[in-house]
Structure 1
């Protein structure tokens, strides 16, 4: 009987420890994906976002270059404005 109680308490204790470990890991995972970062991560994430924006701008410029020069005139300017607004 005493052995049964000891094993039950031991298993319960191990489950609590395992639960704490899992909780700690999940907290880290949540922090990496949410807006609350540790100070070291902030700079790296900001740089990553800047690089993505830079790449997007570069690809947009290339697309614009392939289309050729924009034409002048009222109608053409209106159409160009529409294209620019719908670009993203």
Structure 2
């Protein structure tokens, strides 16, 4: 995976990531989660500090969708643990 600092976006970059996030569909299954994960790894392996912010912001948005799905699927287990 690419250097994590590539994804520390400034305010303008975060605005681009937010637009990408709004356009990306929610992840609804473990299979979709696995597919998006593979895409993030493939894309990020090709990125460098020369990659345009637009492309890096897309990876940030995709990672946020992955996090969102993880939180949704973990919620029932967390409720049972209480």
Q: TM-score, normalised by structure 2?
A: 0.37
> Of the two structures, which has the highest relative contact order with CA contacts closer than 8 Å and spacing of 6 or more?
2
The structure where helix makes up a greater share of residues is 1
